[in-house]
Structure 1
Amino acid sequence: MCSSPLVGRERERRRLRAATAPGTLTLLAGAAGTGKTRLVRELHDLPGPTVLTGHCPPGAEPFPFAPLIEALRRITVPGGLNPLCGALRTLLPEHADHLPPAPEPAADPAAEHHRLYRALTELLDALDPTVLVLEDVHWADPATRDLLAYLTPRLPAHLALVLTYRPEDLPRSFPVAALAARTPPGVRHHELTLTPLTRHDLRVLAGRTLTGTDVTADDARRLHTWTGGLPLAAVETLRALAEHPGPGTAIPERPPVPPSLRDWILDRLRALDGDARRLVRAACVLGEPATEPLLAHVAELTPARADKALSRACRHGLLTPAGPAALTAATPLLAHVCNTALPHGKRRRLHRVALAALSRLPEPPHPRLAHHAREAGLLDEWTDHAERAADIALRQGEDCAAVALLRDALTRPDLATRRRRDLALKLGRAAVSGISVEQTIDQLRDVLATPGLPATERGELRMGLGLLLLNQAARNRTARGELVRAAAELADRPDLAARAMCALAVPRSTPDSVDTHRRWMEQALAAAGRSHDTTVAHSVVVNHATLLAQIGDPAAWKVDLPAPGASFDPPTPDALARRREFARGSLNLADAAVMLGHYDRADRHLDDAATWSGADDAPYVHESVRALRLTLDWARGHWRGLAEETEHRLDSPRLAHFPSVTAELDILRAALALAQGEPALARTHLARVHPCRDRPDDPPRPDHTVPVRAFAAGLMARLALARGEPARAWEHVEDLVSLIAAKGIWVWAADLVPGMEALLACGREAIARDLCVRLRTGLRGTDAPAAATALIRLEAALAHRDDQHDRALLLYAEAEAGYRAMPRPYDAAQLREAAAHVHFARPRDEGVEVGLTSLHTALKEYTELGASWDAARVRRLLRAHGVITGCATVTRPHRDGRLSPREGEIAALAGQGRTNREIAVLLHLSPRTVETHVANALSKLGLRSRRDLAAPAPDGDPSPAPGP
């Protein structure tokens, strides 16, 4: 087996190397598994002195001088030895021919031992400069201990002595640290103690072991929690993961345990006496911090015996304090191995004892009781405690915890039908605001397939499934079908029917027209009135405001959302419900305000949503608020650090549960990449929004909202136009334009204008004029600055096409003013550039000068934003008119067409055929960062594929500067 990388030990390695100087004593302490052997192995790589290593074997009757004999067996015996060394013939028979003759036997055993000590010291003194390493001296036999006591005060001048030991296993009769005090003046000594590795150390170690894998900070956290930072446990775990990598994250919450690591842990347990072992098993079964009386009770020990055993277990590092009066197993790894190794009957008995003990507490911990009941085989008690724990979690707003408990309870195979329905109903309610995964959706569908379900219960289950598909899973069309059926099945429950109807009233990417959404809202308002349920009424009010905002109705901003109450209110279920509805409504209004172009209004609603939602009780709202703030920064031109922040958010494992939020961030990152001259990277991020389904069993693609899809489609249209493919640009937006026209919600069309303008380059002016008329009609009576300004922009492009230059300039100026009022400086700069083209087309000579002035203004604004792609385009146009411009410094100065040193390094490795993951491991980067650099290099070099990186650039220039 190859040696593991040595990380986190630079300081100790430097001190140990310094300790190899002749005449030096070094004591290296560390608990079992902290890497003492791995560290001293570094001494063998040093030039100069010979390194001799011997190990003290464990055992009740160890062989005398065992580590010395092992260390000296391969030496070359020097000549001219002191005749006293002949006493070593019996200890070193392999060197008998090179040793002096054996002396006469000593008069008594003590004299014989003294002669051996002197002989060994003489032999060591006769050797060339040597480092003698004796490992595990806590197991040293009595003769070796006595020898060390004799040798250290007389350490040969050219011998360095290194002793390793475990403090927890050191006998009281052998205080190793006292050896340093016996060295005479002038003899140097060092004392090193190895501690567990930090999270950073583990991340480095994992990155070097799991080649081709992106190891995140969360991976390092999971590994540190699992192993406690113990190097041996971490190395063995990582080797197992390298040999059998799993799906998903590099390091799961519960990694595999290789047999070698399992047996090592079991050996440590077997080394304990019976009482200490029982306490460790009790702590492992309990699974969470427990008081000493509880541990003693589960271990079935008297307080006096438990007190002594606790000291021994803590000294050996198997139990660790978890507060002022609690203890727990040292690591989850230890608990897992111990529980797995327990015989089935003994494990069940311990869980039953723990269940009985915890049940008697004044406030029984139902989640723990559910776990112990399940492990004890008491299935009914398991279900009861799981349901009680979920109810408590829901009342406290901890929906994610409730989802986990209910999903676990629903895995019981013999669960009664009635009970299964009840648990599934609660799961559906909890999952709407919690973190959703495919398993939750599958469980709800399984229960829905149960024959004989009453219509009302079926409707409530279906509504929970529909809301889950709609909000977290972003499957709008599938969700619509479930919600329509649920509304019909809930005819006798107006409170529940109102919730399904108001969800259907919010416009999505379904083919329903705006009138259909309004009718659903009217039915929801009527049903809420019949229900007399204030919670339902609040939910309907929120969705009513959302509907009005999504269609640009000014009445949206006059709807009073349900008051959240004071922040110091007690978190009663009603108060939590009000706060959640207020946060949800604020988020929905903020989302609509961003889409419509009301950015100040969006700020206010985002502040409200952030105030009344938390990362744990409302994770979807919390993450959506953070993503919307980044989108606002993009729109307002606050781009400094925005790409890095967006990448950081995309790396968060939490977002795996929220595809809609991830899609918004990917599109935002694509927009930044395109503006900053990285079209290849922009295409990469846009491809993530709508990935291809390679196999029929792949999960369905998310069906994102129309405004999100419109943002992406507008970017793809710009990319196509830059490549001179106007027909392709129109294709990117055509389906969405048809959907918007069918729904009659034209406020969603603001970001589709680049694709509509492409119609003019395709010679399809009639369609563009028709869209202009329909867009103007559709925006009548709405309050949507972004869409209204986009309409003016399209009208200006049509006027320019018709050679109506004065009208085109007036319209462009009006649209530019509209964008600056929002503000959207990037779009305003684009219109200033478009106006320059109109000036150039005018027959009068003064048009050229005005056009050049407009271009200079646009160039200045692009440069200030960091929009190097657009700035390069403007510079080309200025050069075409005889104006030479310097390469102005932009926010991202390296986007000048030449590869940065890091890009060149990565491009060279990619040209050798290495994958992104392989490059990431070699350079200690994340694969996402490597992907970004490869895309940048391809864009700058004007290449279409990473395979082209293997070919040399023309004239030896590694980085020709292509125009965007």
Structure 2
Amino acid sequence: MPGGPARFAPSGALSRVLIGRRAELALLRAVIAAPPSLALIEGEAGIGKSRLVGELLATPELAGTRRLIGQCEQLQEPLPLSPVLDAFRQAGAELAASRPANPVVGALAPLLPELADYLPPPLPALPDQRAERHRVFRAALALLDHLSPLVLVLEDVHWADGGTHDFLAFLAAHQPREVSVILTVRIEAGPLPIREAFARAPAGPARTVALTPLSPAEVAELAGGILRAELPRAFAVPLYEKTGGIPFVVEEVLRTLLEQLPADEIPGRPDVLAELAVPTVLRDVLLQRLAALDDAAREILGAAAVVGMTPDERVLAEVAGSGPPAVARALAQAQAVGLLHEEDGRCRFRHALARQIVYESVPVSSRRWLHLRTAQALESAARTGPGPRPVARLAHHYRHAGRPAEFVGNAEAAADTAFSHGDDATAARFLLQALEIGELSREARVRLAVKLGRAAVDGLAHAEAVPILERLLATEPLPAHLRGELRFALGRMLRQVGEVRAGHLQIEGALEDLADRPALLGRALAVLSAPETVVDRHVGEHAARCDQAEEAARRSGDPDVRIAVRIARASLLLEQGDPGSRKLIDELLRDDGLRAVPREHARACVNWAQGALHVGRLDLAEDLLAEGRQVVDQAEYLRLTEIVELVTAAVNQAAGRWEGLEERARRLAGTGAKVEAASLDWLLLHARLLAATGPAEKAVALLGDVIETAERVGAVWPLIPARMTLSRLLLTLDDAAGAADHATAALAHVRAKGNWVWGAESVLCLVDALDAMGGAGQGAELVDELSAGISGADAPIAQAALLGALAVLARTSHPVKADRLLDASRTTLRAAGLRYEEALAAERLGRWRCERGTADGGPLLEGALRLYGGLGADRDIARICRVMRQNGVPIPYPWRGGRPSHGQRLSSREHEVALLAAQGRTNQEIATELFLSRRTVESHVANALRKLGLLSRKELRGLRLPDAPNGPPSDTRSGSLTEP
């Protein structure tokens, strides 16, 4: 049942939860609640018949009811009454306790020798074989009556022998009062002989429960439960198309993928579905069905697999060279064995994997010939029929037929059609395939590459397109206007793959060539005006580029270019905290010209939302994100879908909605990101969360990765916040010198960029580090520089950081003033809705007031603790609890000794891992020694630190854990460790 734990799952099943089938289960429960009753559960192989039976038998109302289950076997010569006898063998204990009184049951003794001691004596054989069989039927019926009340389940009755079918017809006519019978049967196995007997049963006609494939949403739910992740639509849709909604096929596909990738990476890799080989178990099943067809049917079905998922029967007849009656017979045979099914009145392959198996069974040479015949048949139909030429299908068939000229012509036409409909991804795919053809003329190659440059940016084909454009620009003499367009496209794609500096330089290099194309020039200059991308470009230069973009837009006379430049101007102002940015954004959002271009509208909203987050305007970010998400969904803008998810996660992080966020960030920071440049932002988000939740060592390592990559590619925005976060983290690890180094490095980039709004938190970190090293006064000039740099800025996070830095400077000489400044900082952050930063400021203020002996210090610390608790910031919880104990502030339940959801006791495995970590072993060394994954070790270390009230792994070194891993709760008041 959806949302509830399954009480039954077949052996080897991946999912323990039954998805869908609510109505079917309810019908079966009604059937068994009113015996005598009969039910037929029918559906194709793998549809979930046995799973449904198991769920039924586990329902509470059957807890005291006996159930017997028999299985029919797929044998050449099935044994008479085999499934019924198998069911009786399960009743040995009941028969031992109470022997049947009816002597006719003795007729079963020779058939059930293992139960003979519990049955009446065998009866003498009858000379008439028919009379003997009738007596055995009566005996089986009497035994069922003796064992009642019961539910008899016979699985896969389509494989039953004739004798079993005769017995079931007899049973339907003489069913005991307290017996319910449930049969499962495959619909593709053909007519079931007992249907008429079940329809005329004296107890009432059998109820039929027909199982159909799962819906797309149910497939997503099933797969999401197996992978323990929410499935993005980009993965769920092709998974449904690949499997046809058959639960067994879904599980086999996921089982195969799990052998290749970690579960958390699979939802972000829809590409693996396209490349998937048919799972071995499913392949065997499908090949067996294919072998059941005669030679003529197999040949026609092979042609059908070449033609398509839903082959047109007229085209198929022409391709296969067979008449319509032969085609109809072949399709009927394939449908009978479950390789095809009927959908909207047409025969369709049951799922993509069934078609793949049939397709691969056709020899390669025959396949090539069939593709050519299919293309020719489609061309012929297009000449005489209405509608446009099916250029996409023609490109596919000509490509596989080995006809490059015809393929390229149709692929370009298909790309043009896709581009005109806004489907950049499909256009890019066709163009990339066409550019793989070695015999292309120079003219065709340049023409296709220019089109690829236009399509690949939004078509998410960056990695494939970049080397093509680079090679073309390096080897072909091109006219200036084409060279400029290609360099602009290449620059945008390099930015998308994360090569920010290289992309910026390419676009700069394109400007001269675009001088006579003002529309493209305006767009290129608008891209260069974005300040949050590349290092070593001052905001003054970005502003100058924006001015040049406005002039180019005016020359072009193109209203869309003018809007693009105004969007860039709003972003530039917003990133600097300019109060005028809000007015410009509001004007643009009301502009009909912007609303008429959904992609530009969506891109603007998402970019502005990011900028609003950068300056701490969470309210504005949420409003813009909501509008941007709505437009992205309506426009189906593929490239922005993942960026929307990224910005949504960043907004949730800022607003304190952290549940499930770390897992999502970890997944998309790896190979899950489709927009490569976004993976660095996901990595930063993951690291920032770990800095608060732990383990600290992992956060330090990830932040180091972000810094290294951002410096290599020249990306300024991840670089500055990554160094600031690392500086703040190192301060909590008592590494003031390291914190000062990273804050200083961040401020070097801030000065080079000329945007102090971005550097305010780094200033606070540096002042804190200097204070820890006894030189807080050294930061006075820096704070003055910051104050001048953000004067008048609408940037709450920067204003709060400035107030905090001023408070640190004033703390020794003017404690009351420092208190007031810090309280103002906390109030600013709270008003902005920045929950984590508010908690940090409240903790600092509470600690200062406790140290001064002020009464309200304790409540401030408790308030900060509750904020951390709501976030799940385990490292911060451990730290603030230590501060509260040091200052005699009572720690409220449930944080006394750790978070209760995890308990205070170390598990045996956590204790084992912690012991090795205390000895200085690395996570990889521990993983190797204990035969665990590195990720599991990281989780155990983090849990141990949290439960023991420690801030970092460093505090484990040289300390001794208690001997008993599952002994009394750890004494977190003393850190749970004792000095050796």
Which of 594, 608, 623 pairs up with 1:589? Answer: 608
Aligned to 2:45: 32
Residue of 648, 673, 676 corresponding to 1:656:
673
What does 1:565-576 correspond to in 2, within 5 Å? Answer: none
Q: Which residue of 2 aligns with 1:787?
A: 798
Match of 1:352 among 350, 355, 375: 375
Structure 1 residues 962 and 895, CA, compared in 2 at 3 Å: closer, same or farther?
farther
Tell me the CA shift for residue 482 of structure 1. Answer: 2.5
| Deviation of the 1:887 alpha carbon | 0.9
1:711 aligns to 2:721 (yes or no): yes
**2:285 aligned counterpart, secondary structure:** helix
Cα 1:824–1:575 shift into 2, 3 Å: closer
Deviation, structure 1 residue 852: 2.9
Residue 268 (structure 1) aligned to one of 289, 293, 301: 289
Structure 1 residue 332: deviation in Å? 0.8
Deviation at 1:333, TM superposition (A): 0.9
Instruction: Pick 1 or 2: higher relative contact order, CA cutoff 8 A, min separation 6.
Output: 1
TM-score normalised by L of structure 1: 0.75
Match among 513, 516, 526 for residue 502 of structure 1: 526
Residue 244 (structure 2) pairs with residue 228 (structure 1): yes
CA distance, structure 1, for counterparts of residue 805 and residue 707 of structure 2: 36
What's 1:743 paired with? 753
* Alignment equivalent of 1:4, drawn from 12, 23, 27: 12
In the alignment, structure 1 residue 179 sits paired with structure 2 residue 197 = yes
Q: Which residue of 2 aligns with 1:95?
A: none
How many residue pairs match? The answer is 896
8 A contact 1:474–1:702 mirrored in 2: no
| Aligned counterparts of 1:644 and 1:235: Cα–Cα separation in 2 | 25
The more displaced of 742-751 and 786-795 is 786-795
Q: Deviations over 1:99-154 (max 9, x none)?
A: 999988xxxxxxx7635634765886899999999876546676776676567657
**What is the distance in 2 between the residues matched to 1:950 and 1:253?**
49
Distance 1:53 1:249, change over 3 A: closer
Give, in angstroms, the shift of residue 738 of structure 1: 1.0
What is the aligned partner in structure 2 of residue 92 from structure 1? none
Question: Can you list the C-alpha shifts for 1:229-274, whole angstroms capped at 9, x where unaligned?
Answer: 4455456545545656599527832432245533432332453568
C-alpha distance after superposition, 1:817-861 (max 9, x if no partner):
5545545565456556655666678xxxxxx46x33355346436
Q: Cα gap change, 1:667/1:862 in structure 2, threshold over 3 Å: closer, same or farther? A: farther
For 1:538-617, what aligned pairs fall within 5 Å after superposition? 538-553=563-578, 556-557=581-582, 578-602=597-621, 605-606=624-625, 609-610=628-629, 612-614=631-633, 617=636
In the TM superposition, residue 737 of structure 1 has moved relative to its aligned partner by: 0.9
Instruction: Write the letter of the residue equivalent to 1:227.
Output: T
1:253 aligns to what SS in structure 2? helix
1:74–1:840 Cα change, 3 Å: closer
Letter in 2 for 1:542: I
Residue 763 of structure 1 pairs with residue 774 of structure 2: yes
Deviations 1:324-355 (A, max 9, x none): x5553221111111222223425324532553
Aligned to 1:734: 744
SS of equivalent residue, structure 2 residue 785: helix
1:935-946 aligned at under 5 Å gives the runs 935-942=942-949
| Contact kept in structure 2, 1:27 and 1:164, CA below 8 Å | yes
Evaluate the alpha carbon distance shift between residue 295 and residue 672 of structure 1 in structure 2; reply closer, same or farther with a 3 A threshold. same
8 Å contact 1:56–1:134 — kept in the other structure?
no
8 Å Cα contact 1:859/1:875 also seen in 2? no
Task: Decide whether aligned partners of structure 1 residues 309 and 592 sit closer, same or farther in structure 2, where only a CA change above 3 A counts.
Answer: same
Structure 1 CA distance, aligned partners of 2:819 and 2:519?
A: 55
The answer to whether the 8 A contact 2:760-2:801 is kept is yes
Shift of 1:362: 0.7
Change (3 A) 1:8 1:287: farther
Taking a change above 3 Å as real, the CA distance of residues 119 and 793 of structure 1, as seen in their structure-2 partners, is: closer
Offset, 1:476: 1.8
Matched, 1:364 2:372: no
Task: Flag structure 2 segments of 5+ consecutive residues without an equivalent.
Answer: 1-9, 90-98, 112-120, 915-921, 925-932
Structure 1 range deviating more: 424-433 or 291-300: 291-300
Check the 8 A contact 1:44/1:51 in 2, yes or no. no
Task: Quote how far apart the aligned CAs of 1:157 are.
Answer: 12
- The aligned counterpart of 1:402 is 427
Distance in 1 of aligned mates of 2:730 and 2:408:
57
Q: What is the distance in 2 between the residues matched to 1:33 and 1:954?
A: 45
CA contact (8 A) 1:720 1:726 kept: yes
Could you tell me whether the CA contact under 8 Å between 2:846 and 2:857 is conserved in 1?
yes
CA contact (8 A) 2:836 2:867 kept: no
Aligned residue among 885, 888, 892 for 1:887: 892
Cα pair distance change 1:178/1:489, threshold 3 Å: same
Aligned to 1:796: 807
- State how far apart, in whole Å, the 2-side matches of 1:214 and 1:539 are: 41
Tell me the alpha carbon deviations over residues 44-88 of structure 1, each in whole angstroms, 9 at most, x when there is no partner: 999999987664646xxxx6x754589989999x9x999x999x9
- 1:562–1:581: 8 Å Cα contact kept in structure 2? no
Partners of 1:774 and 1:488 in 2: how far apart? 38
Q: Classify the secondary structure of the residue corresponding to 1:4.
A: coil
Letter of the aligned partner of 2:673 in structure 1?
A
Name the stretch that deviates more: 652-661 or 935-944: 652-661
Listed as ranges, the matches of 1:458-469 within 5 Å are 458-469=483-494
Q: Residue 256 of structure 1: which of 277, 285, 299 is its match?
A: 277
Deviation at 1:739, TM superposition (A): 1.2
For the residue of structure 1 that corresponds to 2:415, the secondary structure is helix
- Structure-1 residue corresponding to 2:447: 422
Question: Quick one: distance in 2 between partners of 1:606 and 1:616?
Answer: 15
CA contact (8 A) 2:71 2:156 kept: no
Task: Give the partner amino acid of 1:343.
Answer: P
Secondary structure, counterpart of 1:435 in structure 2: coil
Change (3 A) 1:408 1:928: farther
Q: Distance in 1 between matches of 2:795 and 2:876?
A: 27
Q: Please, which runs of 5 or more residues in structure 1 have no aligned partner?
A: 90-97, 105-111, 842-847, 889-893, 918-925
Contact 1:400 1:435 in 2 (8 A): yes
CA contact under 8 A between 1:808 and 1:838: conserved in structure 2? Answer: no
Mapped contact 2:292–2:337 kept (Cα < 8 A): no
Q: Percent identity?
A: 30
CA separation in 2, counterparts of 1:871 and 1:147?
A: 70
| Deviation sequence 1:748-774 (CA, Å, 0-9, x none) | 112223421212222344652332233
Question: What is the CA–CA distance in structure 2 between the aligned matches of 1:564 and 1:366, rounded to whole Å?
Answer: 39
Q: How many angstroms apart in 1 are the aligned matches of 2:449 and 2:863?
A: 59
SS at match of 2:348: strand
Helix, strand or coil for the counterpart of 2:446?
helix
Which amino acid in 2 is paired with 1:170?
Answer: G
Residue 734 of structure 2 aligns with which residue? 724
Question: Judging changes above 3 Å, is the alpha-carbon distance between structure 1 residues 916 and 417 closer, same or farther for their aligned structure 2 residues?
Answer: farther
Query: Is 1:706–1:736's contact at 8 Å kept on the other side of the alignment?
Result: no
- Contact 2:850–2:858 (Cα < 8 Å) also in 1: no
Aligned-pair CA distance for 1:166 = 3.0
In structure 2, the partner of 1:338 is 358
Matches within 5 A, 1:836-855: 848=852, 851-853=854-856
Contact 2:905/2:968 (8 A) holds in 1: no
Question: Is the counterpart of residue 167 in structure 1 residue 187 in structure 2?
Answer: yes
CA deviation after TM superposition for structure 1 residue 656, in Å: 0.8
**CA separation in 2, counterparts of 1:779 and 1:22?**
80
Find the residue that maps to 2:193 and give its secondary structure: coil
Q: Which amino acid aligns with 1:853?
A: D
Partner of 2:114: none
Aligned residue for 1:657, secondary structure, equals coil
In structure 2, give the amino acid aligned to 1:794: A
Q: How far off its partner does 1:479 sit?
A: 2.0
What is the match of residue 785 of structure 2? 774
Letter in 1 for 2:856: T
Task: Work out whether residues 665 and 683 of structure 2, in 8 Å CA contact, stay in contact via their aligned partners in 1.
Answer: no
1:793-831 CA-to-partner distances (Å, cap 9, x unmatched) read 323322224x23455345445545554554556545655
Which whole-Å CA distance do the structure 1 matches of 2:968 and 2:842 have between them?
A: 39
* In 2, Cα distance between equivalents of 1:148 and 1:543: 77
Judging changes above 3 Å, is the alpha-carbon distance between structure 1 residues 858 and 706 closer, same or farther for their aligned structure 2 residues?
farther
1:13-59 Cα deviation digits (max 9, x unpaired):
9979x99x99998756442344668999999999999987664646x
Structure 2 residue 863 is matched with structure 1 residue 860: yes
